[in-house]
Structure 1
Amino acid sequence: MRTRRIRILSAALLTLVLEVAGCSRPAPTPPAEAESATVDPGFVHGTDGGDLDRLAATVISDVQAYWAATLPAVTGRPWHDLDGGFFSVDTTASTGRPPPCSGSVSNLEGNAYYCASVDAIAWDRAALLPVLREHYGDAAVAVVLAHEVGHAVQQRSGVDVGAGSDAARVEAGADCYAGAFLRAAADGRTEHLRVSPAQLDQALHALIVFRDPIGTDASSGDAHGTSFDRITAFQDGHRDGPGRCADVPTERAPTGDAPDDGNAPLQAVVDRTADAGAEFFGDQVAAAGRSWTPPAVRSRDCPADPVGYCAERGLIGYDPAGLDELHRDVGDQATATLLASRHALAALTALGRPTSGAAAGRAISCLTGAYTATEPGLSAGDLDEAIESLLVSDSVSRDATGGQALTGGERVAAFRTGLLHGPVHCG
């Protein structure tokens, strides 16, 4: 059987979705419906004609039209709509007829996939689409289905998308193609679907919910990539267009193979980041010929939500309760990322660079990424925590006034620049 699937939204992962969406740490704006003129889902096999299938049909119609116009220019090959069609499945109806490439209806639970052998896509309208829509909005449904159509693009481009293929590269390519399509929807270049920056942030958060669990072998047939892998591929397509997607992934995060050992104690992370941040950012300031007095890091001595920088007092403050919540809910690397961002703001102050506005937010996020790349023992799981903290909260990119002007995607992109290319690329 030759299929490419999103990672199954199992009971454990559904619990994660609910926890991520429902916890009390800083959270995204409640999901909004994409501004769209919906399409009749009559062409979808098994449809119930409801709102979810209307949304799915809208995405499918626009994404196929996008590739009909785009694929010949990108690959020199023609696009043709999927021969095997599209299948909407109610996985709560155990007596229903299974879709192609699936032995039973239950095999599709919480899932969507592309079946290469018959050129078809199937999705679970009972346990996948409603969860995505409720917690992450319409754009999350668009990302998932555009990813599956991305596998059809690969098949038409001569890429092996079967069980023996390079799973990580194939999945990254599909994420990249999804990013290219969502850019078209954001720019108003699709007939029906419209996606705002805020909706795109919610969709990116949904994408990382389907990341590989820590310890997944990247060469396994079920590998889809870490949060960093998936966001990187999506943003490459979103920024550079579909011509970029045949060659992803080309950049690897500076992580080792160390297993995730769980969270270090909060105070240990605070102390470690204070020392390492003082050294790293002090080196950046000294290289510019400026003087540097490392900021002291103290709980409650500076207004913090949950961290803050008081330039006039040379202090980084933190709220122990607020930081502990982030520490427990996301992980110790999220804590380190947030603390490092205040060291980055202190460094910008010492360098005499702008400390407010969008440019400052990008520089802070970028320098935080550059610092993160130097952390000893950085693991893929650590990086997943950093990416999640950038998406779910605007705290990392807050400027000297407490304001911030970046979307979650922009924060991640700036962080990624610093992580991969170092502080010299941070403006």
Structure 2
Amino acid sequence: MKRWTALTAADNISARRGASADVPAPPEPATGGKLDVVRAIGLVALVILVIAGGCTAAPPEPARVVDHTVDPAFVHGTDQGDADRVAATVVTDVQRFWAAQYPAVFGKPWRDLDGGFFSVDTNSTGVPPPCATDVKDIEGNAYYCATVDAIAWDRAALLPVLREHYGDASVVVVLAHEIGHAVQQRAGMDVDDASVRLEAMADCYSGSFVRWVVDGHAEHLRIDPEQLDRAMRAIVVFRDPVNTSTTAAHGTAFDRVSAFQSGFRDGARRCADVTETSLAAPVPDDANKPLDEALRADRISGYFGDLVTQRGGRWTAPDVRSTPACPGTTGPATFCAQPPAIVIDRAAITEPHRRIGGQAATTLLASRFALAALTELGRPTTGAAASTQITCLTGAYTAVQPGLSQGDLDEAVTIVLESDDVARDAQGTNTLTGFARLEAFRTGALGGATAC
């Protein structure tokens, strides 16, 4: 018997904020408690998608992810509705992907799921799916049940919320992750282990499938860069708590993004290489840093100063101030080349500090020091290549901060994904998608400044 903790975005946010009086507490989750399943590997997603005490729908997608749907008649318990049609289409294309990839990766033929797929309306009573004793056990969730080789999802409280807030591509990511556990079971892995490594591998398998879709190989699915960015936000939300020692095993936002992007970039064959070693350690009481502490520039300046001098440049530490603004630039933190200065708009930078956390403000500030370093070294400071280097160097600095916690790292990941400001070049322009910014940030965080 395994006992899974239902995780929410509110859990992560409230733990990081502490009791700051100017930050409203997140709403109480509509559902909660524990999920009891037998030999089930789940997303553990109990979806209360609350960011900064509020929950707003994302803008409509400009294009459909599902080109044409598959009849969900093969799904046990389906209501033939739109949510199940999307889910049925996704699992059909994922299994077709593995029919081609599994023999190439594991040297054996792929076998479609023996136990099939189960759609559950958790607003009603009825026969529970495999690995559950009650329909409420799957509320807001999706999981793989190894005992009967089946996947179940909540069509009432999971799929509609995913689609509303993160788009249909998030459903693709979630269900491809669950079929990733079926891949592990077929490959002889112990799917009962519930380790971060197994979850990271499933994220990696999901990423390899999504790349196949993005490249135009799927029969029914299409994912464009904007839709992919929205799905990445779902991955960031569905992370383990970072403030305490926990038995939850899905990994931090950085862990999950890294695994997914590894599969996306390198393919399914490389997913066996993922590890459960995190870049930062959990901290028992990881309170949010006050804004002034988050904006301390001495360590950031020292890091980038050393970087410039080691590469033969001459470092002039930028003057960090609040006024006057740099001509022709806007944002929470901006860089003026002559004379070198970084201007902080405290009102603008307070918003991500309040909503995401102290490391979000630090990351924005560090990105301007990265631009200053490129300027001092005579490197290009405009265009996509410059934005990539700025974001990569920001990741490199983030990884070497003393006392970096998992919560800090996840706050940095969140602001990099959400905000163009981290990657803005000397002209205040960013052409990188959130996905590309995350990839550049990861490159720096994992490989250091030399990788940038």
Establish whether residue 15 from structure 1 lines up as the match of residue 50 from structure 2. Answer: yes
TM-fit CA distance, 1:30: 4.7
Residue pair 2:132, 2:138 contacting (<8 A) in 1 also:
yes
Show the counterpart of 1:283.
306
Separation in 2, partners of 1:408, 1:14: 19
For residues 101 and 245 of structure 2, the distance between their equivalents in structure 1, rounded to whole angstroms, comes to 34
Q: How far off its partner does 1:420 sit? A: 1.3
Q: Which runs of 5+ in 2 are unaligned?
A: 1-37
Partner of 1:395, secondary structure, is helix
Shift of 1:19: 3.0
Matched AA of 2:206: A
1:292 to 306, 309, 315: 315
- Give the drift of 1:291: 1.2
Partner residue of 1:172? 200
Shift, 1:196, TM fit = 0.7
Given that 1:77 and 1:157 are in contact with CA atoms closer than 8 Å, whether structure 2 keeps it comes out as no
Secondary structure of the equivalent of 2:50? helix
C-alpha displacement at 1:86, in angstroms? 0.4
Indicate the SS of the match to 1:114.
strand
Contact preservation (8 Å) 1:5, 1:111: yes
Separation in 2, partners of 1:281, 1:123: 48
Q: In structure 2, which of residues 219, 223, 233 is the aligned counterpart of residue 205 of structure 1?
A: 233
- Give, as a single letter, the amino acid of the residue that structure 2 aligns with 1:158: G
Contact 2:52 2:356 in 1 (8 A): no
List per-residue Cα deviations over 1:340-382 (Å, max 9, x = no partner): 0000001001110011111101100110011111211100011
Distance in 1 (alpha carbons) for counterparts of 2:299 and 2:261 = 30
Q: Deviations over 1:263-312 (max 9, x none)?
A: 22212221x2x111211111111112211111111114224311111112
1:126-164 Cα deviation digits (max 9, x unpaired): 0000111001001000000000000001001111101xx
Q: Residue 96 of structure 1 aligns with which residue?
A: 126
One-letter code of the match for 1:299? Answer: S
Counterpart in the other structure of 1:151: 181
1:275 and 1:304, CA in 2 relative to 1: closer, same or farther beyond 3 A?
farther
Counterpart among 412, 417, 425 of residue 443 in structure 2: 417
Q: Could you say which residue in structure 2 is the equivalent of 1:394?
A: 420
Distance in 2 (alpha carbons) for counterparts of 1:166 and 1:100: 18
Unaligned runs of 5+ in 1: 23-27
TM-fit CA distance, 1:187: 0.3
Are 2:391 and 2:437, in contact at CA under 8 Å, matched by a contact in 1? yes
TM-score (norm 2): 0.88
Q: State the partner residue of 2:292.
A: 267
Structure 2 Cα separation of the partners of residues 260 and 357 of structure 1: 40
1:77 is displaced (CA, Å) by 1.9
**Following TM superposition, by how much is the alpha carbon of 1:217 offset from its aligned partner in structure 2, in angstroms?**
4.1
Q: Which residue of 2 aligns with 1:191?
A: 219
Is 2:210 the partner of 1:182?
A: yes
* Structure 1 counterpart of 2:84: 53
Q: Deviations over 1:303-324 (max 9, x none)?
A: 4311111112311112111111
SS in 2 for 1:261: coil
Cα deviation for residue 21 of structure 1 reads: 4.5
TM-score of the superposed pair, with normalisation by structure 1? 0.93
In structure 2, C-alpha distance between the alignment counterparts of 1:21 and 1:286, rounded to whole Å: 46
* Gap change, CA 1:158 and 1:403, over 3 Å in 2: same
Separation of aligned partners in 2, 1:179 and 1:300: 44
Question: Between the two proteins, what is the percent identity of the paired residues?
Answer: 58
Q: 1:305 aligns with which of 319, 331, 334?
A: 331
In 2 relative to 1, CA 39–64 (structure 1 residues): closer, same or farther, beyond 3 Å?
A: same
Residues 1:228 and 2:254 aligned together: yes
Confirm or deny: 8 A CA contact 1:17 1:209 kept in the other structure.
Answer: no
Q: Are positions 1:43 and 2:74 aligned together?
A: yes
Does residue 76 of structure 1 match 2:111? Answer: no
Letter in 2 for 1:15: V
Aligned to 1:243: 269
Q: CA RMSD of the aligned region, Å?
A: 1.7
Q: 1:277 to 1:172 in 2, by over 3 A?
A: same
